[in-house]
Amino acid sequence: MQIMPRRFILVGVAIWCSAFASSLLGQTTPGSVQLRLNENSLDPQVVTASSIEPAKELSLPQKTVTAEALQATSNEVQENLPPETISQLVAPQIVYLQAPSAGTLNSKEPTAGGVLLQSGVGQLKVSGAMSLLGVYGSDRAFVPWSPLFMLPPSILGDSTPTFEAHARQSNLQFLYAGPEVSGWQTGAFGKFYFTSSSLTSDIYGFMPVVAFGEIRNEHFRFVAGLQPDLFAPRDPIVIPITLMGGAGNAGTFRGQLRGEAFWKPNDAFQATLQTALSDPISTVLIDSSRRTTESDGIPNFEVRGVLGFGEIEELAGGRKERPLELAVAGLVGRIRNSQIIYSLDDIDPSIPIRSIIDIGGMSVDSKINLTDRLGIIGEGYFGQGLGNYAGTIFQTFNSQTFQAIRGQGGFLEAFFYLTNRLHLHMGYGLDAALRRDLPASPEAIARNSAYYGCLFWDITPSLQYAVQVDYRETDFAVLNDNSGWFVYNQFAIRF
């Protein structure tokens, strides 16, 4: 192995010093680079790499070399290398950093600005939020830091209020806009929370909820990775990242291969058809039963049709949306559940070792902007075996008969923007399982509902305060029912 002579090391140092001097002293002519992001997405609630923000033009410094920089380069390099090579070495392609102005504010995870990394193969925008969330509960819930449903009251009649303060809703987002390949635009998007392997975990970590890559053109889009479900994808605007799951809001995130087709005859109408092959098991949720569920060797199939009416308008809060969106989605698939056996003594002859469960469902969702400040969001679903889709209060099958649990649910929300920085959201969500499908066991839940109201105040583009109040009711099939109040306070610094 040969050691590089010291003179070449000195030459390299001189070249990079020259590059730095060039970036500071050189006279440049700005070049324009276009960040191409698709604007065809009808549903801003469904996170896609193409609907984060509109296209922007960035002024990038031209790669030039000043006389001072050339003089700083060693005489040996100037003698042995042609001028074109010296120019390329002195002004290499350097990642260009720029903090863009605040874009459209999002009520759930608003971000302002961010850092944009520019290179010859695309652009990467890094943004996120540091959050501190305090949650008070008048009684115990699962889970206290992000309530999904109430736990049974104390058998001793004791008072069981709870309080949690955590930063697990802090997050990072990565949006990549890649090069165009044969008429197809490439891109990717990733979002990570500072929590562990599930949204109900009380351990800090780095958990992806969305991570996918895409290619698209004017008429089609193909996506692969961790994505939101096509089944029941619309979310209420609330503080907790569990998004009213188990209380009317079905749909989670899972590995998925998706294809989409767009038809836009004019600016006032657009139709979108979405289809997907998806993982039958969601990694975001926890199966709390003693049996484990797994795929039966085939993917689930999801399909969704979306209609958008009216031209895209600028609305209060910096939103750009159509007056009306309507969507219908369907799901079919199956899963297999097997008893967890650690030894032969664990085998119960009266319980099947495993069984096959057919799952399926249908959902409808809509968003109506009645004025530029007032609107309605709604979603409803019905089906069976939907526990892995956050449906029927996370219950998939009867642990005694091993048949799929049927049920339905939905939510309805009204929102009003008092100003561009202050907006109010109020709604009600309900999940209900068919009682005759439930087992006669302590963990069975027949009904779970929540009234909620939340206020978001964007003090500055980088600082937000939000407060929310819930009233939750949980009806158990065997145990005593329970209800309680919850108050959330969140401070978020966005970048």
Q: What is the pLDDT of residues 390-406, one digit of tens each?
A: 999 999 998 888 889 99
pLDDT surpassing 60 at residue 280: yes
Distances (CA, A) of 278 to 207, 228, 386: 19, 10, 14
pLDDT of residue 113: 63
Q: Which domain holds residue 15?
A: 6-30+61-93
Q: Is 459 exposed, middle or buried (0-12, 13-18, 19+ CB in 10 A)?
A: exposed
Specify the pLDDT at position 59.
Answer: 36
* pLDDT band at 339; cut points 50, 70, 90: confident
Number of domains in the chain: 2
- Rounded to the nearest angstrom, the gap between the alpha carbon of residue 215 and the centroid of all alpha carbons in its chain is 19
Assigned domain for 103 exists? no
The answer on 364 and 275 residing in a single domain is yes
Q: Does the pLDDT at position 150 exceed 80?
A: yes
One domain, residues 10 and 68:
yes
Does one domain contain both 159 and 88? Answer: no
Instruction: Tell me the CATH number at 364.
Output: 2.40.160.10
Task: Indicate if 18 and 161 belong to the same structural domain.
Answer: no
157 and 127 inside one domain? yes
Residue 246 has pLDDT above 80, yes or no: yes
Between residues 363 and 80, the one the model is more confident about:
363
pLDDT at 457 over 90: yes
| Amino acid, single-letter form, for residue 90 | V
pLDDT (average), residues 350-356: 80
Same domain for 120 and 158, yes or no, is yes
Domain shared by 89 and 119, yes or no: no
48 part of a folded domain: no
Structural domain contains residue 161:
yes
As a whole number of angstroms, the distance between CA 458 and CA 465 comes to: 7
Q: Indicate if 76 and 174 belong to the same structural domain.
A: no
> Is the predicted pLDDT of residue 54 greater than 60, yes or no?
no
- How many CB atoms are closer than 10 A to CB 280? 23
pLDDT over 90, % of the chain = 64
Report residue 167's pLDDT band, with 50, 70 and 90 as the boundaries.
Answer: very high
Residue 60 reports pLDDT greater than 70: no
Q: Against a cut of 0.85, is the pTM above it?
A: no
Among 39-43, 266-270, 423-427, whose mean pLDDT is lowest? 39-43
Reference 228, options 102, 56, 108; nearest CA is 108
**Inside any domain, residue 43:** no
| CA gap 245, 242 in Å, rounded | 6
pLDDT at residue 61 above 70?
no
With respect to residue 25, please indicate whether it lies within any of the assigned structural domains: yes
Peptide bond into 143 cis (omega under 30): yes
Task: Note whether 445 and 321 are same-domain residues.
Answer: yes
Residue 411 and residue 334 share a domain? yes
Residue-level pLDDT at 197: 79
- Output the pLDDT for position 291: 54
pLDDT at 198 exceeding the cut of 50? yes
DSSP string, 106-126: -SSS-----EEEEETTEEEEE
41, part of any domain: no
Question: Has residue 367 got a pLDDT over 90?
Answer: yes
- CA nearest to 359, candidates 381, 380, 387, 337: 387
Confirm whether 159 is domain-assigned. yes
- Given this model, what pLDDT does residue 118 score? 73
* Residue whose C-alpha is closest to residue 148's, from 239, 249, 242, 284: 242
How far apart, in whole angstroms, are the C-alpha atoms of residue 290 and residue 266? 54
Per-residue pLDDT band for 242 (boundaries 50, 70, 90) equals very high
Q: Across all residues in the chain, what is the average pLDDT?
A: 81
Q: Is residue 404 part of a domain?
A: yes
Least confident of 121-135, 136-150, 307-321, 331-345: 331-345
**Domain check: are 134 and 87 in the same one?**
no
Q: Over pLDDT 70: what percentage of the chain?
A: 75
Examine the domain organization and report whether 68 and 207 are in the same domain.
no
Query: Which whole number is the average pLDDT over 254-271?
Result: 96
